[in-house]
Structure 1
Amino acid sequence: MYPHRPTGEYRILLAPDDPDDSYQVYTLGSSEPPRHIDIEGPYVQDLSPSTPLMFRGSLHWCIGSIIHVFNTTTESFLQMLAPDVPHSVDRYVMDILYGAVLFDMDGMLSMPILTDEFTSIGIWAMQDYENEVWTSKYRVELPLADLTVQFGKFNPCIHGVPAFLDGDVIILVQFGDWLLQFDMDGKLVANLRNCRGLFPTRHQLKQTLVQHTFFRTLEGYAVNASPFI
């Protein structure tokens, strides 16, 4: 779902699951059937593992080494290249299961990349969006041996789920039954147990959007606590 700026409408993009089908666009609140659009783009099975990122008015999905961009104004697709990082984990298998994670960091399209030794997670940002120029912004070292002894085996399929919060990038990784939260200095700042089968997401939960005095505070809830763990 995305906002269509020229009309102020909210629309849903329906991807095809067969070469003979076409993309369709449905307008929320409309009694009209979905409208077919004649464009080329990835099939629904390719897009479904990923949560799209709305960035600069376009929807972005990263599949393998390709970032698919749907321009919500012109209703057309284009492709961009993800950063080519030596000695990084082949993202294809993990993308099929979970989708790569794209996020907005200080107005830059960004993504995490795990090294093939599982010892660090790099945060890469597209410094020049028009010319597709990526740059390495951060590198979070993971003391893999120590964390494995303390928490269990590292799960590379749930790694580097980042979020940009109050000027800081938060990294979530899973070891055994534990979901761990790291800051950009590689410091473990929070943990949560019994997280097997947990599906990562960038969405944040808040107790209330507006802090009215008549709202009851949940027992044990800290207003300034991490919204992730």
Structure 2
Amino acid sequence: MPGKRGATLLEDLPEEIVDKILIRLPPKDVGRCRAVSKSWRSATSTPAFMLEHRRCQPLLPIVDGQGRPASLVVLRDAGAVKALHQQQLWPFLPGYKPLSQNRLRGACDGFLVVSQGYKFYICNPVIRKCALLPRPEREYNTIVGFYCHHSTEEYRVLWVSRPDHLSNSSLYVLTVGSDRPRQISVGMSTLSSPSAEQDLLSKLLYSSPPVHHHGSLHWGLFSYGNITGGGVNIIVFDTEAESFRWMHGSIHSQPYCNWKLFDMEETLAFWCSSSERSSMDVWVMQDYKAEIWAFKYRIDLSMVEASRQLYLTSFKKKKRRPLDSTVQYLDNMVVLNERELLIAFNMKNVLRWDIDGKFLGIVSIGKSQYCMSLTHHRLQESIVPIPGHDMMQEEYEEHPFSTGHA
């Protein structure tokens, strides 16, 4: 009912309307609402609410500022670019000062998997919680995939493991919340020999992080010799059946020096640079089942450099520090939102580019920040607790987890 003065108070609204309002709030604001009202705390603490709230959050690219001055940074929309230094993401534990020991290994549904030396953790940076992950009882372990097994609603980690540098590798799966990984096999008919399987596992070790799409993980590989006979191919891991298969990615004869898969507006896509690295072509999956790709557009080096020079000229009066070199080559790309791309060039700079080919500016993290790399990981902010009631979850205050909310 309205108050005495005729104004409608929030608590006077129907419960379903209040739920719709709360579910659209940023995670930090949900936390504030929990402190205001017991009913709001109860409403925002149910599993159904937390899952639906996470689904409403955008997928945000994570950039590695390489510690100068930032480490990991979550990139938001164009309007926030000027304040990127306020959006640092700290999923790492205190006590490890060398940046080389802190590695982001995977991201899925608001959870991050990070490593520090030989230890691996699952973290939720929004609620500032993390838990140690049990690893295979071998000396060398690398996480190559992190996913949700939807039929059981379990989060699982895919490892490539071996007892020493000279031994053969094996595959393991760890369910988050359990205390022991289980070994699985590759099980692909196209891998006719043990050496071919070992070759595949080696490629997974050194490939870019997989792209989540259609309930599967996708890695883009340059395949040679005893795997598929040569060319560019995609290895697919069905997260439900936990089995592998190949997908064709070789759709043209023009030589390319580099290429990577990425997610573009919930569509599997890949970019590829020319042998001279003077242009970047973007292809998208037109028909997933038929494995049909379609060319989307080309980003030309000369256009990027001309736009960059125009951008720098417009800032001369403001004494903005120019970049220390011209655009020599394009080397990476991710999607910022449905209209904007992030393009890395010269292995140390990142710019924003409209999908229609319009240059939008140079990205800077903090003051004089011109050294960063695109990680191809994305964070979907979540207030969902880390699975596994028997796991030791710790909250760290020395280096608080922060995603840059004001």
TM over 0.5: yes
In 1, Cα distance between equivalents of 2:356 and 2:278: 14
Q: CA deviation at 1:132?
A: 1.1
Residue of 159, 165, 182 corresponding to 2:331 = 159
Q: Are positions 1:35 and 2:210 aligned together?
A: no
Contact 1:105–1:164 at 8 Å: present in 2 too?
no
Unpaired stretches in structure 2, ≥5 consecutive residues: 1-145, 188-196, 223-231, 313-322, 384-403
Contact 1:14–1:23 at 8 Å: present in 2 too?
yes
Aligned counterpart, 1:227? none
Residue of 124, 139, 143 corresponding to 2:298 = 139
Question: Percent identity at matched positions?
Answer: 28
In 2, Cα distance between equivalents of 1:77 and 1:217: 40
Aligned counterpart, 1:199? 373
What does the per-residue CA deviation read over 1:86-109, in whole Å, with 9 as the maximum and x for residues that have no partner?
444222xxxxxxxx5322224421
- CA shift in 2, pair 1:47/1:176, >3 Å: closer
Unpaired stretches in structure 1, ≥5 consecutive residues: 92-99, 211-215, 219-229
In 2, Cα distance between equivalents of 1:178 and 1:15: 32
Aligned counterpart, 1:187? 358
Q: Are positions 1:14 and 2:14 aligned together?
A: no
In 1, Cα distance between equivalents of 2:238 and 2:206: 18
TM-score relative to the length of structure 2? 0.43
- CA shift in 2, pair 1:90/1:128, >3 Å: same
Q: Are positions 1:90 and 2:257 aligned together?
A: yes
In 2, Cα distance between equivalents of 1:2 and 1:24: 13
What does the per-residue CA deviation read over 1:176-224, in whole Å, with 9 as the maximum and x for residues that have no partner?
753222222333212135433x221234579x879xxxxx964xxxxxx
Tell me the secondary structure at the aligned position of residue 6 of structure 1.
coil
For 1:107-146, list aligned pairs within 5 A.
Answer: 107-143=266-302, 146=306
Residue of 52, 63, 69 corresponding to 2:221 = 63
What does the per-residue CA deviation read over 1:46-78, in whole Å, with 9 as the maximum and x for residues that have no partner?
334411111111111112212111111111111
Aligned counterpart, 1:222? none
Cα root mean square deviation, aligned: 3.2
- CA shift in 2, pair 1:118/1:44, >3 Å: closer
Whose helix fraction is larger, Structure 1's or Structure 2's? 2
Contact 1:103–1:110 at 8 Å: present in 2 too?
yes
TM-score relative to the length of structure 1? 0.72
In 1, Cα distance between equivalents of 2:206 and 2:299: 28
Q: CA deviation at 1:114?
A: 1.4
